[in-house]
Chains A and B, each alone.
Chain A
Amino acid sequence: MAKLTILEFPDPRLRRRATDVESVDDTLRQLIDDMFETMYDAPGIGLAATQVDVHRRLLVADVSSEKDDPWALINPVILERDGVEVTEEGCLSVPGFYEEVERSGHIQVRFLDREGAEVEAEFTGLLAVCVQHEIDHLDGKLFVDYLSEAKRQRIRRRLVKDQRQRQHDAAAAL
């Protein structure tokens, strides 16, 4: 098990579109385990492979408070969606910022599970929101893209400033 590094907005690698996973094997399962560890540690409720600089269509999620409802979705496709759910979303790639985003409240999704079996499942509420948020990542999209331009630019400036500060601190520590 290993904790992975999460890319932070406005890193251009977050804008790459992920390609389908071709084979579900032990290497992929190791990546899934590492992604869960990274997500739980952050702490977050969902993580897309794009966020750890792996550009394959894979996401993990667990919205339970007991960390006992893990989902790993490989090559997920949304088949149907309806309803409206507004959630104050945050993102491990946009640390510290939380804004309301409107998404579908109910989705039907087809994906491969960690054994490579095809599954169709329905998600509602927070889990539905989370899966949509993560699929956006696989398409190179972030929740800040739903906000006003002014808000997005403000978040961008603040994060860039933080990142510079951290680099400066790291350099000073050497």
Chain B
Amino acid sequence: MAITKAGVRQRAEAAIAIDAVVTEGRSLDWALARADEKLDPADRSMVRMLCFGCLRYHWQLRAQLRMLLERPLKARDSVIESLLIVGFFQLSDTRVPDHAAVSTTVDAARLLRRPKYAGLINAVLRNYMRRNISESEAQDDEARFNHPAWLIEHLRKDWPDHWQQIISANNDRAPMWLRVNGQHMTAAAYQQAHAIDGQLLPGADQALRLEKPAAVDELPGFELGHLSVQDAAAQMAAPWLLAGHPDGVVRVLDACAAPGGKTCHLLELLGADADLTAIDNDKKRLTSIQENLARLGMDATVLAADASKPGEWWNGVGFDRILLDAPCSATGVIRRHPDIKLLRRQEDIHALARRQRQMLAALWALLNPGGRLLYVTCSVLVEENEAVVGDFLSTHTDAREDRVLHDYNIRDLMYDKTPGFQVLPGTQGMDGFYFASLEKVSG
């Protein structure tokens, strides 16, 4: 009979998940959900830590692997390469004792049903320590910056003075931000009431950055709908869209709304009489909007609909406010999704930008005169941000940029673009977001 120690299972599952991202092109979320089915809840955080670390430092760790392996392993044994990477990461970046890192990683080969690799893994990990490989100089930019070459180039071109800052923030760990439900209290009051160890952010009254990440359902008030998990930059969208809105009913459209974080924030600000329509193209993800609404005790019209084809779903009644949180490269949230660095391709950016232009033009027709559309992405790339909005403004005479902010404290958190504003990842611990507020004038 054989049994598996938890540590061995964690290493094996981490290697399987990393391999699914690296060789099958799966998202890390997908791979972790699959791993969770096989893991005890107690083992999940270790697997996450290993996966995030190995994907963050993917290029550096792969370069180190090439220094120690005479030739790559057979394609069908790629999971063993991922397992070796898991071993390197433990030895170089974690507090796992070296002997435990080696023995659990070696034993994981058996769990992966490749026992013949146990000897090789043992030898490679010992060489890694003996030759001090973790300290070796990076040979190229990909290994030095842990980003694909095309993205380094793209960032360098778009942000000549900030690209290294962006890259370094992308490779950092992201803090956990809460959004306290403004219908109940401010973030400051919540922090005080529950003695939460965290940081407030001037300009974002509902945002609270936790010093240490916590299990969300253990936070006081979560089940009651008093708080949500949402990055502070994402929390700018709803108040910005509604800034200066007259009292009474305003018709609001939240386009590409899943999973509903901003939808709920809009409703918290609008109150019970709100007339809000939330749409998303992905039927499965609509469930997440419904769940979030239910938890917060709120109501909205939720539709499965394509924002670029209003003809299929729009009833002809105009909106006063439209939030377009456009599908994008997510290059502003790489620290939360390090797999983006491996999954995204340069050609994806052009395709995304085309789609963003279609959506913006299509939704513009739905906006009432005097209304506002807030264009938002979690991208840091010019092609998806100011290029989209700039071209839109130059071709639409009834559109002009509205530079009004809901709170001028946020001004210093953003870079002024023409048009729009960019929050870079890592600024006050926030994700990278782009915002452009557009007003419809009589043309």
Contact = CB atoms under 8 A, between A and B. Distances in A.
Interface of A: 42-47, 61, 87-92, 95-96, 98, 126, 129-130, 133-134, 143, 158, 162, 165
Contact of B1 (A91, A95, A158, A162): A91
Residue among B76, B110, B115 with the highest chain A CB neighbour number at 10 A: B110
Nearest to B116: A166
Given A95-B115, A96-B113, A88 B2 contact: no
Given A95-B113, A162-B113, A133 B3 contact: no
A45 B2 contact: yes
B4 interface: yes
Contact of A45 (B3, B76, B111, B115): B3
B112 interface: yes
Contacts of B1: 44-47, 61, 89-92, 129-130, 133-134, 143
B113 A44 contact: no
Interface string B1-31: 1111000000000000000000000000000
10 contacts: A44-B1, A45-B3, A46-B1, A61-B1, A89-B2, A90-B4, A95-B110, A96-B110, A96-B111, A98-B3
Contact of B2 (A42, A158, A162): A42
A93 to B, nearest CB: 9
B107 interface: yes
Contacts of A96: 110-113
A90 B113 contact: no
A89 B2 CA distance: 6
Interface of B: 1-4, 76, 107, 110-113, 115
A162 B3 CA distance: 21
A52 B76 CA distance: 29
A126 B3 contact: yes
A43 B107 contact: yes
A44 B115 CA distance: 13
Nearest to A89: B1
A163 to B, nearest CB: 11
A65 to B, nearest CB: 9
Given A44-B2, A46-B1, A96-B111, 8 more contacts: A47-B1, A88-B3, A90-B2, A90-B4, A96-B113, A98-B4, A126-B3, A162-B113
Contacts of B107: 43
Residue among B1, B4, B110, B111 with the highest chain A CB neighbour number at 10 A: B1
A64 B115 CA distance: 22
B112 A90 contact: no
B120 to A, nearest CB: 14
Contacts of B115: 95
A131 B16 CA distance: 32
A165 B107 CA distance: 21
A34 B267 CA distance: 71
A43 B107 CA distance: 9
A91 B2 contact: yes
B107 to A, nearest CB: 7
B378 to A, nearest CB: 39
Nearest to A97: B113
B63 to A, nearest CB: 28
Contacts of A46: 1
Residue among B3, B76, B107, B110 with the highest chain A CB neighbour number at 10 A: B3
A67 to B, nearest CB: 14
A126 B111 CA distance: 20
A99 B258 CA distance: 37
Contacts of A45: 1-3
B252 to A, nearest CB: 49
| 7 tightest Cβ-Cβ pairs between the two chains A and B | A96-B113, A90-B2, A46-B1, A133-B1, A44-B2, A130-B1, A92-B2
